[in-house]
């Protein structure tokens, strides 16, 4: 386990050395990884920091407003890039390709914002599992293997690249970040795009967003899972009223884990699953079925793509 005070001291020193007199863009998503990096950078190079939050259009309900509110005091620039991301994803159904397109879009948005402010370095909250899974060919995390080969930044700084998620949370505590951030469920950078199988369309994103909202509403407070969410698997038949319909099949996932490298599905009470299925099919009319995923990681992954 990481020695948090010592880690913080050396990370601040490293950021100072790497950034020098330049300006640095931090990609802040509001998750614990990027929040820890932002706080380290604020302590290291304060005024040289440009904090950016990109609304990719693939975020959960209320996420952008929540983050703008939470980070109000560090002059977070909120960039609305939903149309740009959705346009780039049009027609793409291969999971790796989707991640690459998203990784590239993120960088292009950061580059544009960096040009406006004169920043030359990029600071990212990449953690150890992101790197091993990308390097091991399991999948390209959007911020590692999904990044374009050519970019306008002279340096990419990744202060928490050797930490596991549980260690990042310990560092967050030592930095006195609010408990809401410290214990926040992970949400992947590619957002709802990895929670819809195949091509990302505006309709699928809306359904996934609503379903994720319901799942979190029913599970997070009561069961405090490591992660829970809903994913859109595809179309299946159902009956609504007197009609046979072809509607979305939604998978519900709730897992416990230490570091995201392995995970176990939570044995949710049947009544909770029943409530979730009833709410999703009633509140989202285009959903025909709801299933609960009982596969551990491995052999499954936590996300669907």
Contact present, 187 and 302 (Cβ < 8 Å): no
Site string for ligand XMP, 177-216 (x = CB under 6 A): ---------x-xxx---x----------------------
Does 95 bind ligand XMP (CB under 6 A)? Our answer is: no
Does 295 bind ligand XMP (CB under 6 A)? Our answer is: no
Our CB check for ligand XMP shows the closer of 25 and 192 to be 192
Q: Taking the complex as a whole, how short is the minimal distance between the CB of residue 301 and ligand XMP, in angstroms?
A: 4
Does 145 bind ligand XMP (CB under 6 A)? Our answer is: no
Our CB check for ligand XMP shows the closer of 12 and 139 to be 139
Our CB check for ligand XMP shows the closer of 30 and 188 to be 188
Q: How many residues bind ligand XMP (CB under 6 A)?
A: 16
The three-state DSSP-derived secondary structure of the chain is CCCHHHHHHHHHHHHHHHHCCCCEEEECCCCHHHHHHHHHHHHHHHHHEEEEEEECCCCCCCHHHHHHHHCHHHCCEEEECHHHHHHHHCCCCCHHHHHHHHHHHHHHHHHHHHHHHCCCEEECCCCHHHHHHHHCCCCCCCCCCCCCCCCCCCEEECCCCCCCHHHHHHHHHHCCCCHHHHCCCCCCCCHHHHHECCCCCHHHHHHHHHHHHHHHHHHHHHHCCCEEEEEEEEEEEEEECCEEEEEEEEEEEEEECCCCCCEEECCCCHHHHHHHHHHHHHHCCCEEEEEECCCCECCCCCCCC
Does 56 bind ligand XMP (CB under 6 A)? Our answer is: no
Binding piece for ligand XMP, criterion CB under 6 A, among 66-74, 78-86, 140-148, 209-217: 140-148
Does 297 bind ligand XMP (CB under 6 A)? Our answer is: yes
Our CB check for ligand XMP shows the closer of 126 and 286 to be 126
Does 99 bind ligand XMP (CB under 6 A)? Our answer is: yes
Does 98 bind ligand XMP (CB under 6 A)? Our answer is: no
Four-residue CA torsion sign, 224, 225, 226, 232: negative
Our CB check for ligand XMP shows the closer of 30 and 260 to be 260
Binding piece for ligand XMP, criterion CB under 6 A, among 107-115, 176-184, 285-293, 296-304: 296-304
Our CB check for ligand XMP shows the closer of 57 and 186 to be 186
Binding site for ligand XMP (CB under 6 A): 99, 133, 141-143, 186, 188-190, 194, 227, 260, 297, 301-303
């Amino acid at each position: 386990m990481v020695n948090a005070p010592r880690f913080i001291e050396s990370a601040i020193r490293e950021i100072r050395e790497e950034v020098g007199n330049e300006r640095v863009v931090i990609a802040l998503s509001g998750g614990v990884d990027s929040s820890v990096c932002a706080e380290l950078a604020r302590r290291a190079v304060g005024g040289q920091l440009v904090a950016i939050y990109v609304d990719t259009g693939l975020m959960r309900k209320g996420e952008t407003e929540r983050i703008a509110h939470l980070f109000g005091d560090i002059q977070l620039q909120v960039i609305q890039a939903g149309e740009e991301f959705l346009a780039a994803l049009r027609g793409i159904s291969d999971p790796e390709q989707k991640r690459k397109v998203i990784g590239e879009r993120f960088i292009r948005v950061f580059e544009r914002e960096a040009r406006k402010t004169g920043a030359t370095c990029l600071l990212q909250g990449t953690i150890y599992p992101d790197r091993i899974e990308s390097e091991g060919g399991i999948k390209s995390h959007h911020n590692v293997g999904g990044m374009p080969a050519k970019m306008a930044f002279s340096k990419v700084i990744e202060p928490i690249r050797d930490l596991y998620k549980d260690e990042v949370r310990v560092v967050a505590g030592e930095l006195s970040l609010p408990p809401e951030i410290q214990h926040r469920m992970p949400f992947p950078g590619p957002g709802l795009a990895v929670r819809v199988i195949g091509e990302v369309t505006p309709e699928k994103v809306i359904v996934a967003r609503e379903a994720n909202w319901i799942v979190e509403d029913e599970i997070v407070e009561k069961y405090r899972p490591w992660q829970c969410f809903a994913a859109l698997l595809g179309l299946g038949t159902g009956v609504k009223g007197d009609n046979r319909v072809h509607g979305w099949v939604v998978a519900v996932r709730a897992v416990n884990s230490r570091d995201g490298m392995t995970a176990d599905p939570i044995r949710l009470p049947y009544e909770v699953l029943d409530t979730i299925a009833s709410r999703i099919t009633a509140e989202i009319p285009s959903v025909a079925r709801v299933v609960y995923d009982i596969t551990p990681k491995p052999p499954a992954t936590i996300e669907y793509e």
